[in-house]
Every structure is written in structure tokens, then in C-alpha cells.
């Protein structure tokens, strides 16, 4: 085919109108060759495009673009053939790419390009790899390809083990399902059912719970594959970013595919994103596949669910339950609401709208019923009444008195002080609370200096091993030892510093950074291995090693202040504010059978956020407005908010998970699950010992003031410390 080919985008609408216009006249000698490529099924929306286009374009009855010439057709069937038979004798495309692995339900693997033998001679190669040459010369530009088209185009070693497995894959599929036609019916039924249920979900104010991106009304498998693409909305119609929905789904053990699905064309078309916007988003730092899900409130991508032969009705229902249970409130709902009804959103899936697949496949009434029965009882913590307690005047008052009790209410200018200090000597393990503690180059001395790694040297986190929080380290600066305790285990001692002669330096990875570490020895390794019931080691960051902080949080560091880090993920210090904790505590408040309020203990909540510095702020989340702070004689830059993940669901005393904490925080924080701010100390002079102490005054400078008076502000601070 022409090497210097040009390409033109063709939209589905172009094709519909091309059909009416018919072909462009072409004289019989016209030698121009064109290739029309289209997907049999969109991997974005599941839209199935007419297979009749193949014959119409090839025969010249229809021209995708108004140019004379002869048309060939490439039918991208990678998505289509996963759940539908394709008869190539009836639909004679010239080229058909397919992905075998998608048919079998594997995450990756073998695919194929089927080439019609009649067009094979037209194909040219402009490179070659091993196995494709009949003969070639090393010292001369001489290459003669092999005869058959497969031999010419299968460069390199073919994946013969995968190819052998194909027969067994197809045999198993046939045995399990009875064939592709059954798969087509089964998956379509599931998709139609889920689509009908999803689109019938509404908030009490009538607003839909999801916006579905589609080109068909799911009326038949001829026009629609088993794919549903959507965004979740709040009750004001605002999109809830896909990253947020994804994080929520993981709490329900559902893994979602989100973003643009390698399909920017469909993404732009359905989300209404112009070419200019795509370029602008890139400049704003959004790249394909990241979790920047909203820019100026507009979605950059969406959420996709698709069904395969192995999907069941239970899977579809589990997904629907998740959507129902996590429908989010708009921030305005948190204001003291009037009567209970107004504050309690519910899924108004009207009974007559419920899809009846077959009689026995009707979703049980109480699963997606009306009113308060929206949450299935079987799901822990998803009772609608407790999910969204309306805040009455009484609870407001209670909150005020609680704030008073905690000494948090001092008016705007009242003194803020450090109320608690914590370090986490072993990354992801329990906190060590102190009242006064030396400050080192990386933050609080010995904070995240150690970590537990598995037999491959990979750091354990609470996501895989929640019991890490049951390991309690204590540091004795006088004796220069760390004592590690855990229930049912004899305490064990580890020296604070390595024996520089014996320590074997090795490299570990923390958040893509390489750090030099050394192993703390077999004794503590077997202690940990016994506790976790699998081989682990304790390693420590080498004291001679410098890990420089990146300007990750979007801030340039002031000159001469290359911040160094311990084994933390992001920054030297994390600060949280008890007023924010109090607000979250109120939102998590539940009532027992007698209507008595039950509060999460403050200590319990504080410990989930694994902060170093706790202050009694005057207002919830005011710390996010701070640009700099000083604590006693030390000055800190506020780098930005800490984005939270499901780790905050883990009770740090027991290692148990509770999804509510994450869900509540997400609701109340307008879907940005931020809590606390990162700090970095400014030009630290360690020539004399520095300490952080409980009771030290915390003086914030707001961002605006830092930005407006940057130089004077810094200067002023220097005066304070010198
Ligand atoms: C998955 C997919 C591809 C890519 O196929 P691979 O085998 O993963 O390279 C191309 N087109 C569509 C429509 C797909 O769904």
C-alpha cells in the first residue's frame, strides 16, 4: 500500500450520511487504494457498528470519504469477538485484528491479524526481523523475504507456547458455554439488565445517579455489546471523578477500569472534550492513565464495566449494590438539615422499572427497593439511615461542646499548639508517641528509618498486611536501642545505629526512589517471620544515605534547601488538625437501637491518619490554607494536602477494616479524600540540637500572605530563629 499515506478521521455520523450519498464515481483505471478501518465493537461504549459496511465500502456502494479509488476494509474485531461470533465468509473484511486473550478473559496475551490472501501481495514491509528472510546480506542492502505472507510478517520468534494453548482455550470455552452464540446472548442479557437498573437510579430530588455514555439503547446484541461506560453523579448533577469511584469500588473488592480506555476519540466524543482541551489538559499536567479525573469540574475520563462469558448475575448485582451504597451527598447536604427526609438520599429505583431478566433473575426487592431499603442488609455498614445522618441542631450543639471539651475552640486568633507528637520508626507499623523529640535532617529523628520487607526485599504495607499496625516500636535514645513489641511475642531489641563494619549495604525501593539500606540481621528477621507467618526481614535506611525530596507536590523548593527524606512516601512531616478530626467524627456518628449516639474514639481516628504532628486548629481543614507555619523556633513550608487511600479504613489498634471512614471523608470533602498537610522544614541549622515539643505554639501564615509577601515573610522567619 502507499507508503506516504494520508489519513482522515471518519465519524459514525459521516458513515450514516455516506450511505445516503452513495459512492464517488471512479473511472475503471483509477488505481488509488484506500483503507477504511473501523471497530466492529467500540471498546469504549460497546456500540456495535454494522458489519454490512464491509460489503458496502468494498463494493463501492458507499465511500467513507469523497475520493475516487478502490477501498479495502480493516475490521478491528478485538473487542467484538470476545462476546460474539463473527462469520468471515459473510463479512469479508481484508484485514481483521483480534485479541485471543480477551476471548479467554486473560489480562494480556496473544492476538492475531487475519489477512485475506487476495490482498496479501499488496502488503509492503519497511523493516525485517528474524525468520522472515529467504536470504539477506550483512554487508549489502540485500533482503529477499520468504514467500508466504505469514512467514514474511511474523518477525522474530513466534509465541508458539501461546499458540499451542489456543486450541485448548477454545475447547474449554466450548465445553463451558456451548459456543459463542450463547456467550453473545448471556453477556448481552447481563449488560441490558445492568444498564436498565443503572439508568433507573435516582436521588430523591429526581437527579440521576449515573450518566451513561452510549450510542444505543441496549435494545439488541446487534447494536450493543456488553459494555457500560458511565460517570457517577452527585445529586446536583456534578460528575464524581473516576478515581474517586475507583477507590470506593476497591473497598467493595470491585476492580474497575477507568480513564479513557486507550480510546481518546470516543472519550472526546462522549465527554465533549475538544482537541484544544486535550492539549490544555496535557499542559495542566494530566497524562493518559493518571488519576486526574476532573479538570475545572469537567471529567477527563469515565468508568467502564464489561461482561464476559464468566460474568454472572450475582456479579452484576454486586456492582449495582456498590453504586447504590456509595451514592454521595452534595456538600450542601451536610449543613444542618431540616426534617430527616430531606437529608437522606435514597435510590428511587421504582419497582416497575426493575429489569426482570427471567422470573428467578429479578433482583430481590429489598436490594434496590424504595426509600430507606436501598442498602442490602447483608452489606456491612451500608444502611442508608446510618450512611447519611442528617445533622440536627442538637448534634451541632454537641459538636460545639465537644470542641470546647477538646480545647479546640479558641476563636480565630486563639493559640494553636502541638497536642501530640508521633513517630513511626518502622514504616507502616504502630506509632510511638512522644512529648519532646529531636529533629533530624529527614524529619523527626528515626521516623520511618526502618521497614519490613518480604523475602524478595519488597516493602510490606498495611494494604497487604494490616497486622503491621500491631508491631509496636519504642525508641530509647539513652540506651541507643529500639525495642519492638507485639502481642504474644517476647520483646526484641535492635540497635539504633548500624555497625558500620558489619552492615551490608543493599538497595531497596520506596515509591520509585532507590534507597541504600542494610539488613538488621537474622534474629529480628525470624521474630518478624514468626509473627507474620511468612519470611520477612527488617531493614534500615543507611545513615550515610541521602534521599532527596522531589518537587512532587507542585512547589519549588527555596534555593539551598534540598530536603532529604527517610523511608516515608512523600514528605518529612504530616500535620493534622483535631478540628478536622472532630468534624469527621461527627459524620461517622451512628446511633444504636435506643437512639443513643455512638462516637468513634478520637484517639482511634487520629491514629488512622498516621500524622507526626497533631495541632488543635480552630477550624476544620484550615490547615489546607496555610502556606507556612512555625512551631516553636522551627519553621516549615506547607507543601500541600495529603491524598488518602483505603489505608485510613484500618483500625490501628486491631488491624480491622471499616469502609465507612473513607466513604464519609470522601463525601464530606467533595470527593477529594484529602486529610492533613505535608510539611518540610526550612533551612534547618542542626549545629545545635532542635526539638519539637507538645505544647509548642503553632503559628500559621496563610498561603495568600506567603504568596503576596514572599520575601518579607521568609525574612521575618529568619529573624525569629536567628
Ligand atoms: C483491545 C483492543 C485492541 C488492542 O488489542 P491488543 O491485542 O491488546 O493489542 C484494539 N482494538 C480494540 C477495539 C480493542 O478492544
Going by alpha carbons, the residue nearest to atom 10 of ligand 1 is 78
* Distance from residue 180's CA to the centre of ligand 1 (Å): 19
Instruction: Say what percent of the chain tops pLDDT 70.
Output: 81
What number is the average pLDDT over the span 316-320?
94
Per-residue CA distances from 306 to 102, 228, 302, 437, 671 (Å): 11, 6, 13, 53, 25
Residue 630 has pLDDT above 50, yes or no: yes
Residue 37 has pLDDT above 90, yes or no: yes
Binding site membership of 43 for ligand 1 (Cβ less than 6 Å): yes
* Distance from residue 74's CA to the centre of ligand 1 (Å): 13
Angstrom distance (rounded) from CA 399 to CA 503: 53
* Distance from residue 80's CA to the centre of ligand 1 (Å): 10
Binding site membership of 259 for ligand 1 (Cβ less than 6 Å): no
Which of 36-40, 243-247, 368-372, 491-495 shows the lowest mean pLDDT across its residues?
A: 368-372
Binding site membership of 577 for ligand 1 (Cβ less than 6 Å): no
For residue 252, the model assigns a pLDDT of 85
Angstrom distance (rounded) from CA 569 to CA 583: 26
In a mutational test of the pocket of ligand 1, which residue from 39, 81, 93, 97 has the highest number of ligand atoms less than 8 Å from its CB?
97
Residue 546 has pLDDT above 50, yes or no: yes
Q: Which domains does the chain have, with CATH numbers?
A: 12-110+159-168 (no CATH), 180-367 (3.90.1150.10), 407-419+554-705 (2.40.33), 424-548 (no CATH)
Beta strands in 550-595 (DSSP E): 573-577, 590-591
pLDDT band per the 50, 70, 90 thresholds, residue 327: low
pLDDT band per the 50, 70, 90 thresholds, residue 662: confident
Query: Which position among 30, 260, 262, 589 bears the catalytic label?
Result: 262
Binding site membership of 39 for ligand 1 (Cβ less than 6 Å): yes
Give the three-class secondary structure for 229.
strand
What number is the average pLDDT over the span 571-590?
88
What number is the average pLDDT over the span 685-704?
86
Torsions phi, psi for 144 (to 5 deg) = -115, 115
Sign of the dihedral through C-alpha 218, 88, 166, 100: negative
pLDDT band per the 50, 70, 90 thresholds, residue 719: very low
Angstrom distance (rounded) from CA 457 to CA 480: 26
Which conformational region is residue 52 in: left (phi greater than 0), alpha (psi within -120 to 50 degrees), or beta?
A: alpha
Going by alpha carbons, the residue nearest to atom 2 of ligand 1 is 78
Binding site membership of 99 for ligand 1 (Cβ less than 6 Å): yes
The pLDDT tens digits for 99-156 are 999 999 998 999 999 999 999 989 888 888 888 999 999 999 999 999 888 889 999 8
Would residue 260 show up in a list of annotated catalytic residues for this protein? no
Find where cell 527524606 sits: 565
pLDDT band per the 50, 70, 90 thresholds, residue 346: very low
Q: Cell numbers for 368, please give them.
A: 434496590
pLDDT band per the 50, 70, 90 thresholds, residue 501: low
Q: Measuring CA to CA, which residue among 672, 651, 543 is closest to residue 607?
A: 651
pLDDT band per the 50, 70, 90 thresholds, residue 196: very high
Residue 654 has pLDDT above 60, yes or no: yes
* Predicted TM-score of the model (pTM): 0.66
Binding site membership of 227 for ligand 1 (Cβ less than 6 Å): no
Angstrom distance (rounded) from CA 228 to CA 254: 15
For residue 50, the model assigns a pLDDT of 97
Angstrom distance (rounded) from CA 86 to CA 173: 16
Which of 110-124, 209-223, 491-505, 585-599 shows the lowest mean pLDDT across its residues?
A: 585-599
Atom of ligand 1 nearest to the CA of 41: 13
Give the three-class secondary structure for 249.
helix
What number is the average pLDDT over the span 536-561?
69
Atom of ligand 1 nearest to the CA of 108: 8
Residue 445 has pLDDT above 90, yes or no: yes
Which of 325-339, 531-545, 637-651 shows the lowest mean pLDDT across its residues?
A: 325-339
Angstrom distance (rounded) from CA 372 to CA 354: 17
Residue 203 has pLDDT above 50, yes or no: yes
* Distance from residue 194's CA to the centre of ligand 1 (Å): 24
Q: What is the mean pLDDT of the chain?
A: 81
Binding site membership of 79 for ligand 1 (Cβ less than 6 Å): yes
92 within 8 A of 58, measured Cβ to Cβ? yes
For residue 16, the model assigns a pLDDT of 87
Residue 642 has pLDDT above 50, yes or no: yes
For residue 247, the model assigns a pLDDT of 87
Amino acid at each position: 500500500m502507499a507508503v506516504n499515506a494520508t489519513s482522515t478521521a471518519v465519524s459514525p455520523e459521516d458513515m450514516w450520511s455516506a450511505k445516503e450519498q452513495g459512492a464517488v464515481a471512479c473511472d475503471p483505471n483509477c488505481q488509488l487504494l484506500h483503507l477504511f478501518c473501523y471497530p466492529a465493537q467500540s471498546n469504549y461504549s460497546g456500540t456495535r457498528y454494522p458489519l454490512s459496511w464491509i460489503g458496502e465500502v468494498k463494493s463501492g456502494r458507499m465511500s467513507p470519504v469523497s475520493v475516487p479509488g478502490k477501498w479495502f476494509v480493516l475490521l478491528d474485531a478485538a473487542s467484538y469477538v470476545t462476546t460474539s461470533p463473527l462469520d468471515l465468509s459473510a463479512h469479508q473484511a481484508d484485514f481483521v485484528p483480534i485479541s485471543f486473550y480477551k476471548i479467554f478473559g486473560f489480562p494480556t496475551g496473544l492476538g492475531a491479524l487475519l489477512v485475506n490472501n487476495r490482498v496479501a501481495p499488496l502488503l509492503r514491509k519497511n523493516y525485517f526481523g528474524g525468520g522472515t528472510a529467504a536470504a539477506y546480506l550483512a554487508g549489502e542492502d540485500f533482503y529477499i523475504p520468504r514467500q508466504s505472507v505469514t512467514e514474511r510478517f511474523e518477525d522474530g520468534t513466534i509465541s508458539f507456547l501461546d499458540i499451542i494453548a489456543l486450541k485448548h482455550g477454545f475447547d474449554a470455552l466450548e465445553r463451558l458455554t456451548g459456543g459463542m452464540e450463547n456467550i453473545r446472548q448471556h453477556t448481552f442479557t447481563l449488560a441490558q439488565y445492568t444498564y436498565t437498573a443503572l439508568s433507573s437510579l435516582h436521588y430523591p430530588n429526581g437527579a440521576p445517579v449515573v450518566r451513561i455514555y452510549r450510542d444505543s439503547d441496549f435494545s439488541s446484541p446487534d447494536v450493543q455489546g456488553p459494555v457500560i461506560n458511565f460517570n457517577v453523579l452527585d445529586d446536583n448533577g456534578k460528575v464524581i471523578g473516576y478515581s474517586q469511584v475507583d477507590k470506593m469500588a476497591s473497598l467493595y473488592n470491585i476492580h474497575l477500569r477507568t480513564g479513557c480506555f486507550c480510546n481518546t476519540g470516543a472519550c472526546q466524543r462522549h465527554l465533549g472534550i475538544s482537541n484544544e482541551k486535550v492539549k490544555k489538559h496535557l499542559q495542566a499536567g494530566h497524562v493518559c492513565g493518571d488519576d486526574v479525573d476532573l479538570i475545572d469540574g469537567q471529567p477527563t475520563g469515565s468508568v467502564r464495566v464489561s461482561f464476559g462469558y464468566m460474568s454472572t448475575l450475582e456479579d452484576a448485582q454486586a456492582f449495582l449494590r456498590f453504586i447504590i451504597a456509595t451514592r454521595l451527598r452534595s456538600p450542601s447536604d451536610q449543613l444542618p438539615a431540616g426534617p430527616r427526609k430531606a437529608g437522606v438520599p435514597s435510590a428511587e429505583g421504582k419497582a416497575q422499572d426493575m429489569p426482570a431478566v427471567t422470573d428467578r433473575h429479578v433482583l430481590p426487592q429489598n436490594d434496590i427497593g424504595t426509600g430507606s431499603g436501598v442498602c442490602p442488609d447483608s452489606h456491612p455498614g451500608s444502611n442508608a439511615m446510618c450512611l447519611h445522618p442528617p445533622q440536627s441542631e442538637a448534634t451541632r450543639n454537641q459538636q460545639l461542646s465537644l470542641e470546647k471539651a477538646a480545647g479546640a475552640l479558641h476563636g480565630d486568633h486563639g493559640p494553636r499548639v502541638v497536642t501530640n507528637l508521633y513517630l513511626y520508626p518502622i514504616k507502616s507499623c504502630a506509632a510511638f508517641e512522644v512529648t519532646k523529640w529531636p529533629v533530624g535532617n529527614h524529619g523527626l529523628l528515626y521516623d520511618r528509618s526502618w521497614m519490613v520487607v518480604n523475602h524478595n526485599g519488597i516493602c510490606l504495607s498495611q494494604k497487604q498486611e494490616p497486622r503491621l499496625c500491631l508491631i509496636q516500636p519504642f525508641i530509647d535514645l539513652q540506651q541507643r536501642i529500639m525495642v519492638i513489641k507485639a502481642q504474644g511475642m517476647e520483646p526484641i531489641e535492635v540497635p539504633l545505629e548500624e555497625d558500620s563494619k558489619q552492615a551490608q549495604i543493599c538497595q531497596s525501593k520506596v515509591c520509585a526512589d532507590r534507597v541504600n539500606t542494610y539488613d538488621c540481621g537474622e534474629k529480628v528477621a525470624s521474630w518478624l517471620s514468626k509473627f507474620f507467618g511468612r519470611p520477612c526481614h527488617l531493614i534500615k535506611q543507611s545513615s550515610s544515605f541521602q534521599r532527596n525530596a522531589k518537587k512532587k507536590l507542585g512547589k519549588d523548593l527555596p534555593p539551598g534547601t534540598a530536603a532529604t527524606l527517610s523511608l516515608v512516601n512523600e514528605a518529612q512531616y504530616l500535620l493534622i488538625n483535631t478540628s478536622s478530626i472532630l468534624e469527621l467524627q461527627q459524620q461517622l456518628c451512628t446511633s444504636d437501637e435506643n437512639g443513643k449516639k455512638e462516637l468513634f474514639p478520637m484517639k482511634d481516628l487520629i491514629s488512622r491518619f498516621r500524622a507526626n504532628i497533631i495541632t488543635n486548629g480552630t477550624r476544620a481543614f484550615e490547615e489546607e490554607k496555610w502556606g507556612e507555619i512555625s512551631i516553636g523556633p522551627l519553621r516549615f513550608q506547607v507543601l500541600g494536602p495529603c491524598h488518602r487511600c483505603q489505608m485510613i479504613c484500618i483500625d490501628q489498634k486491631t488491624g480491622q477494616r471499616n469502609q465507612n471512614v473513607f466513604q464519609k471523608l470522601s463525601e464530606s470533602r467533595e470527593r477529594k479524600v484529602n486529610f492533613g498537610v505535608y510539611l518540610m522544614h526550612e533551612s534547618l541549622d542542626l549545629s545545635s540540637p532542635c526539638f519539637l515539643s507538645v505544647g509548642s505554639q503553632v503559628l500559621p501564615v496563610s498561603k495568600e500572605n506567603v504568596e503576596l509577601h514572599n520575601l518579607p515573610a521568609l525574612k521575618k522567619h529568619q529573624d525569629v530563629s536567628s
